[in-house]
Amino acid sequence: MDINELELTGAPARLLAGLDASTLRHSRRVQKLAVAMGRSLGVSARELAALSLGSLLHDVGKRDVPPGILTKTTALSSSDWEEIQKHPIYGYTYAVQFVSDDQVRDIILHHHVWYDGQGGYPVSGSVLKPGRLARITTVADVIDAMTQDRPYRRALRLEDSLTFLQDRKGTQFCPTVVESVFRQVDQIRGLVGA
């Protein structure tokens, strides 16, 4: 069975059941992208399993974000944005109850923290840098978010997301992960449907 098609039961399945359909579709696409990148980067079988589960569960905290914020078609207010930025903490709270793998927990908590630790959320600072699998998930998350229609904008071209990654390589995004994306553009294009 392909690692992207893991049969989920128990707590992970229940956590995913609490997500809206759009976030669940996004999570599945991010999982496929992250696993493809992980394979390209030569992560171990154990890490690949953690990457698969963590990238699938990365946005599970959005189940606690008010639905009206997630589907808003206009600019988010500062209070809306503050609520969105809590979803990694909400997700981590679930993860510590139901997931024993620290790498999976790291993905959920740190998938919006910049590679250099200087930006992102829920926390940033020079002492915090996301783990390797979180860095992979971050890039997969951005590619999918940019290349899919959102309530507030139409999908962008894959080339636009690649430019975005390249421009922020070394600060927001891990250079090694970004370079792996450029080595497999055709496969990435097939996964995002761009």
pLDDT tens column, 131-176 = 999 999 999 999 999 999 887 788 999 999 999 999 999 999 999 9
Helix, strand, or coil (residue 178) = helix
Helix, strand, or coil (residue 181) = helix
Check if the beta carbon of residue 111 is closer than 8 Å to that of residue 92. Answer: no
Instruction: Specify the pTM.
Output: 0.91
Which pLDDT score, from 0 to 100, does residue 30 have? 97
Which pLDDT score, from 0 to 100, does residue 126 have? 59
Q: Write down the mean pLDDT value for the chain.
A: 89
pLDDT tens column, 76-115 = 899 999 999 999 999 999 999 888 899 999 999 999 999 9
User: CATH number of 7-192: 3.30.450.40, 2.40.30.10, 1.10.3210.10, 3.40.109.10?
Assistant: 1.10.3210.10
Gap between the Cα atoms of 92 and 87, Å rounded: 8
In 3D space, the residue among 140, 117, 114 whose CA is nearest the CA of residue 38 turns out to be 140
Among 19-23, 29-33, 108-112, which stretch is predicted with the lowest mean pLDDT?
A: 19-23
Q: Is the dihedral of CA 160, 129, 50, 46 positive or negative?
A: positive
In 3D space, the residue among 151, 150, 181, 176 whose CA is nearest the CA of residue 163 turns out to be 181
- Domain map (residue ranges) of the chain: 7-192
- Fill in the DSSP letter of residue 45: H
